[in-house]
Amino acid sequence: MSVTKKEIASLVSGFSIEVTPASAEKVDAFADHLVPGTSINVTFLPGSSFTDTIRVSRRIHEEGFKPIPHLAARNFESSKALEKSLDDLTSLANVEEVLIIAGGLDSPLGPYHSTMQILGSGLLEKYPIKKIGIAGHPEGSPDISNSDIDAALNDKNVWARNTDIEVYIATQFCFEASVILNWEARIKKLGNKLPIHIGLPGLATLKTLLKFAQMSGIGPSMRVLTRQTKNLAKLVMTQEPDIVISDLTSRVAGTPDSLIKKVHFYPFGGLAKTAAWANSVVNEQIEMKPNKGFNTYINY
């Protein structure tokens, strides 16, 4: 099914984007790159201080954007530490939305080792949190079995049905639409009702994308990248997620009950590049050329 620029723009419109506290330091003003009100996720990396997440979230809010800080369950040393973080985020940065993940630590620093423990703690309801993202794994996880992932997703659906807080799935980044679409169909059969925000890589060199894919345990969709490594010149060429977006749009536009509602960009090559490209897509200034390679578009 062919898709129009308008249909593609509709899917990308309202995109969210991600920053680390370190990468945020390189952005003079978010308004130079993003439409006011854009959602900006703030990572919480193992070994980092949560005060950095709070500081960046506050800056994002003060500049007219929507901060979505990550809460990594295994990084909190106690329930008091989690509650203090929620209090600071909501009172200092006006946070109303968070993304809750288990986190990358092998051993929890405190009582929490999973997202469900945070959800079930009762602490979120004490604060003005209106929306929560939970992690989705279209390619599985190197640390968790598929059966455990499925069971956890079922538990999160049950929790979502019994709260006034809006819940959605935010996925790890993928490079191939078929992997995402097969996963969406599979979890729908398992009973998932939660809307899905698809994680996609932003503009970056092939070399950079391969590095982050390997670090993150990305599996099947990496073949889109590895097919190109035989051409050494392509390692330093900037790649755009044009084909995967075109293919996702084709399914979403032709499937009224699709759970895919939004895209989220991981700007491995820098926020400025990815934001400029995404804004051009939203403004229908980019002509996608599907089936011509991962790095093909015309900007005019």
Residue 295 has a pLDDT of 40
- What are the pLDDT digits (tens) for 72-115? 999 999 999 999 999 999 999 999 999 999 998 889 999 999 99
Domain 5-276 annotated CATH 3.20.20.220 = yes
Q: Give 36-67 pLDDT, tens digit per residue.
A: 999 999 998 877 899 999 999 999 999 999 99
CA proximity to 195, closest of 131, 265, 262? 262
100 three-state secondary structure: strand
In angstroms, the CA 57 to CA 41 distance is 9
Selected residue with higher pLDDT from 127 and 144:
127
Question: For residue 43, what pLDDT is reported?
Answer: 94
pLDDT of 300 reads 23
Q: What is the pLDDT of residue 214?
A: 61
Q: How confident is the model at residue 293 (pLDDT cuts 50, 70, 90)?
A: very low
- 71 is written with which tokens? 């809460």
Predicted pLDDT of residue 6 = 93
What is the reported pTM? 0.89
Spell out the domain ranges in the chain. Answer: 5-276
Can you state the angle between helices 5-12 and 271-282, rounded to 10 degrees? 130
Q: How many CB atoms lie within 10 A of CB 147?
A: 8
